[in-house]
Chain A
Amino acid sequence: MMPQTFAQKALARAAGLDFVEVGQVVDARPDIVLSHDNTAAIRRIWREFGQERVAIPDRIAITLDHAVPAPTTKHAQNHAEIRQFVQEQGIRHFFEVGRGICHQVLSEEALVLPGQVILGADSHTTHFGWLGAFGAGIGRSEVATLWATGELWLRVPESMKIVLDGELPPGVTAKDFALRVIGDLGADGGLYMSVEFHGSGIAAMSLESRMVLPNMMAEFGAKNAWIGADEKTVAYLERRLGDYGIKRLGDAGGNANPPISQSLNLSISQSLFPDPDASYASEHHYRAADLETYIACPHSVDKVVPLSAVAGTRVQQAFLGTCTNGRLEDLAAAAEVIRGKRVAPGVRFLVIPASSEVLKAALAQGYIQDFVEAGAVIGVPGCGPCMGNHMGIPAPGEVIISSANRNFRGRMGTADSEIYLANPAVVAAAAVAGVIVDPREIGE
């Protein structure tokens, strides 16, 4: 059989075929279909099909995360419609306001396993590549179609390979690597591609750091992105399935579920790894030692410069959070910078953990104490001000430094504001200094 990429193997499995060619259009049956605050709108579309029941209730996952807690009556009504849908359709995988951001929550709950396919009405569904799954963003009509039929047409994408050799230097993070790649190749550098990450630099990364890479590939135009599952991934998922899985399966009243370890092994042993001689549209090699700390400048994520090029830029708001950089290690890096210091006068520092679990762990570690003592504002786990829905909206003319993934004009709710994207330590350093600065230059 011809050597295959990860995307070929994952979509062949989801389409029930032995082999698929690049460019082939297949009817894929995703393992999980994700939606969030947009679920009420999807329900209105789905109702046009005239069905009483969705076809795949157990494969639907819904989180409330984009505007939580509800900032207006309309938002509250939107959430209420979603809860009603969840109840009437018996959706088991529903996560309430405050549980966290969909991609983080579904990862913590191990709802997606290596080799599986998740399609979501959220562009950052590429995220699930961190654990060796195929994740792609789709539209609302497509989610409605999946609820009704369980399947959707997908074109098998070309693949590109990005290789990172060696360990990242201190102060240089997965976010910096992602920004460097997007800066080098452009916001459309991975358009329609399945982006595979390979190399010792990826293997050396913590799981939380790995999560950043497929997540950020949404800003690269990618269809999906992939990192191979290894012992670290499996250990994480097994622990998570232990925490949540048994309870979750029990909740359903099911009795014939395979043992947890067996179901996980099954997924791994489907060997959804690309063949060594698979064919790639392009390959890009990076040496970790050559990378530094980068910033994406307004208003495009590919306007990437070394931090030093924009050092001294004044900011009025610093935002630490999102599905890209709102995890425990991100909060740890920021707390390290800000501990014992104060947020600069004239600056607001917003810290929003990606999930309730991250919040709990950050409390236990003392990071939340560090932030509050420094004068930061702690928000409810969720997407926060990333997309300008509520809370933390900048005033016209203001400059924001953010650990998020997108800096389009108006992204945070105000067209006449500027967003710089950076890693968590840089965000915290800017909060303390009032200007963009290398975290190492923040005095003791």
Chain B
Amino acid sequence: MHITGRAWKYGDNVNTDVIFPGKYTYTITERAEIARHALEDLDPTFAAAVQPGDVIVGGRNFGCGSSREQAATCLVYNGVGAVIAESISRIFYRNALNNGLLAIVCPAAAQAIQQGERVAIDTERHVIACAAGEFAFPPLSASVMGIVAAGGLVEYVKARLATP
């Protein structure tokens, strides 16, 4: 899998409420509308300007807080290619991978990447390339990579249920 896009860089403890506010969680169900509210309370310019393949770069504990899956899907629906962070909160991490969104814990890359620069991710070689150089990240387990490659958990389980 190859992902190329611009970096949107944020700080530590980017929480699920600023990624997708709780007040929308039971009333907004359309993909386009979910996408429009992405990062609303953190970076109001994001949803209108993000391009497919762009990469979110966070500091420590990215995605902390609620279990709401829209925190991951609002990024997916905007075409975000990956999240790279120094560390990632566990439920967000699962939600991202379960929706086919690559979530990469790589402190060196997360620190080196600058706002707006081009970032390229190669999941076969497990490297992130940016202006500061190449950074290796640990590969996902085969089963979890299978979920990402299937396009997410639902597709993965569908295939499993279809083959007894």
Contact = CB atoms under 8 A, between A and B. Distances in A.
Interface in B85-113: 87, 89-91, 94-95, 98-99
Interface stretch (B10-18, B47-55, B128-136): B10-18
B141 interface: yes
Contacts of B17: 387-388, 406, 408-411
Determine the interface band of chain B, counting residues with CB < 8 A from chain A. 35 or more
Contacts of A62: none
Interface stretch (A132-140, A241-249, A267-275, A372-380): A132-140
B159 to A, nearest CB: 11
Contact of A410 (B26, B41, B98, B99): B41
Given A49-B161, A141-B154, A410 B90 contact: no
A183 interface: no
Report whether over half of chain A's contact residues are helix, strand or loop; otherwise say mixed: loop
A142 B153 contact: yes
A409 B64 contact: no
A45 B154 contact: yes
B27 interface: yes
A139 B91 contact: yes
A342 B68 CA distance: 38
Interface stretch (A10-18, A93-101, A145-153, A288-296): A145-153
Interface residues of A, number: 54
A356 interface: no
Given A49-B157, A300-B13, A408-B65, A387 B91 contact: no
A397 to B, nearest CB: 15
Contact of B13 (A25, A37, A187, A389): A187
A298 interface: no
B143 interface: yes
A300 B22 CA distance: 16
Contacts of B60: 186, 188
Contacts of B99: 141
A413 interface: yes
A78 interface: yes
A144 interface: yes
Contacts of A393: 23
Interface stretch (A66-74, A110-118, A162-170, A320-328): A66-74
A252 interface: no
B82 to A, nearest CB: 18
A192 B89 CA distance: 8
A56 interface: no
B29 interface: yes
B26 A38 contact: yes
B98 A415 contact: no
Contacts of A78: 26-27
A289 B149 CA distance: 53
Contacts of A173: none
Which has the most chain B C-beta neighbours within 10 Å: A142, A148, A302, A408? A408
Given A45-B154, A409-B41, A410-B18, A139 B67 contact: yes
Interface in B56-72: 60-61, 64-69, 72
A74 B90 CA distance: 30
Contact of B95 (A41, A139, A144, A408): A139
Interface of A: 25, 37-38, 40-41, 44-45, 48-51, 66-67, 72, 74-75, 78, 120-123, 125, 137-142, 144-145, 148-149, 153, 186-188, 191-192, 219, 221, 223, 300, 302, 387-389, 393, 406, 408-411, 413, 415
Given A144-B154, A221-B64, 11 more contacts: A37-B26, A45-B154, A72-B27, A123-B67, A138-B91, A142-B98, A149-B161, A191-B87, A388-B17, A406-B65, A411-B17
9 contacts: A38-B68, A45-B154, A75-B26, A75-B27, A139-B98, A141-B99, A188-B13, A191-B61, A389-B26
Interface of B: 13, 15-18, 21-23, 25-27, 29, 41, 60-61, 64-69, 72, 87, 89-91, 94-95, 98-99, 141, 143-144, 152-154, 157-158, 160-161
